[in-house]
């Protein structure tokens, strides 16, 4: 079980706190708005009405012992900047801050944020990737070049072993795991002798262009 704090309980902050709490974590939810705090109270370990820009009040919460703190305040840029600065001074090791744009994100990094969140941009990317890559069941961005994806096998893969396919040599991708649906099973680092079935899901690591070539085989 982890220990987290969420500062700012708008739409993003509320759902972040709720999801963390439902996963069995200890969650301290903080906002200056009493109604928002009351709304998240059933979905957090502790919900606190507090002005997080007040460094004295912020220090009293012991946030430096948390595994991470999420800063998700509103459209007033100075608020999130000041909160991140205070959190850094307090000694919080992991600060995830929601940014309104790239410039805002750069400033947040300068004052202590260890990870910048762009909710709309990140979701737009995820949705667009799902639309443009219909054979990709799930998508995790690794870098500009590499993808880690779950994909149903092209018909020409079915009935062949990983050794026969030799995907590393022929397509420059690595099958790092396989989900068997019938019966349900998960195989991490499958053996070369594994024979692919049409009901299997391949978890592949490779460059975007190579993943697209496999998509074209379907």
pLDDT at 130: 67
One domain for residues 91 and 194:
no
Mean pLDDT per block of 10 residues along the chain (218 residues) reads 93 93 93 96 96 93 95 91 96 94 93 91 75 58 71 91 94 92 88 93 89 82
> What is the Cα–Cα distance from 188 to 205, expressed in whole angstroms?
13
Residue 207 in domain: yes
**Which pLDDT score, from 0 to 100, does residue 34 have?**
96
Question: Both 107 and 22 in a single domain?
Answer: yes
Q: Which of 118, 143, 168 is the last residue of a domain?
A: 118
Asked whether the beta carbons of 171 and 204 are under 8 A apart, the reply is no
Please tell me whether residues 30 and 113 are part of one structural domain: yes
- In the chain, the number of structural domains is 2
Q: Which domain holds residue 112?
A: 3-118
What is residue 9's three-state secondary structure?
Answer: coil
Question: What span, in angstroms and rounded, lies between the C-alpha atoms of 80 and 62?
Answer: 19
0.85 exceeded by the pTM?
no
Q: Specify the CATH number for the domain of residue 136.
A: 3.30.70.1450
Among the listed residues 53, 61, 118, the one whose alpha carbon sits nearest the alpha carbon of residue 91: 61
Q: What is the CATH number of the domain that holds 36?
A: 3.40.50.720
User: In this structure, are 30 and 103 located in the same domain?
Assistant: yes
**DSSP per-residue codes, 113-158:** -SEEE-HHHHHHHHHHHHHH-TTEEEEEE-SSSEEEEEEPPPGGGT
- Looking at the structure, tell me whether residues 141 and 45 fall in a common domain: no
DSSP H/E element including 188? strand 184-188
Q: Is residue 124 part of a domain?
A: no
């Amino acid at each position: 079980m982890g220990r987290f704090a969420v500062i700012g309980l708008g739409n993003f902050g509320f759902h972040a706190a709720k999801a963390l709490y439902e996963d069995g974590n200890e969650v301290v939810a903080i906002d200056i708005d009493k109604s928002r705090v009351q709304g998240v109270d059933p979905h957090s370990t502790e919900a606190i009405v507090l002005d997080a820009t007040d460094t004295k009040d912020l220090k009293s919460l012991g946030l430096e012992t948390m595994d991470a703190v999420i800063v998700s305040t509103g459209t007033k840029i100075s608020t999130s900047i000041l909160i991140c600065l205070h959190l850094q001074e307090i000694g919080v090791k992991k600060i995830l801050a929601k940014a309104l744009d790239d410039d805002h994100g750069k400033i947040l990094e300068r004052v202590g944020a260890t990870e910048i969140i762009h909710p709309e941009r990140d979701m737009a990317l995820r949705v667009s990737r799902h639309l443009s890559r219909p054979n990709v069941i799930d998508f995790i961005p690794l870098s500009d070049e590499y993808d880690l994806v779950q994909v149903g096998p092209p018909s020409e893969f079915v009935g062949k072993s990983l050794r026969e396919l030799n995907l590393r040599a022929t397509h420059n991708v690595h099958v790092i795991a396989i989900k068997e649906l019938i019966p349900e099973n998960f195989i991490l680092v499958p053996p070369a002798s594994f024979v692919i079935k049409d009901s299997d899901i391949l978890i592949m690591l490779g460059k975007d262009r190579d993943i697209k070539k496999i998509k074209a085989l379907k």
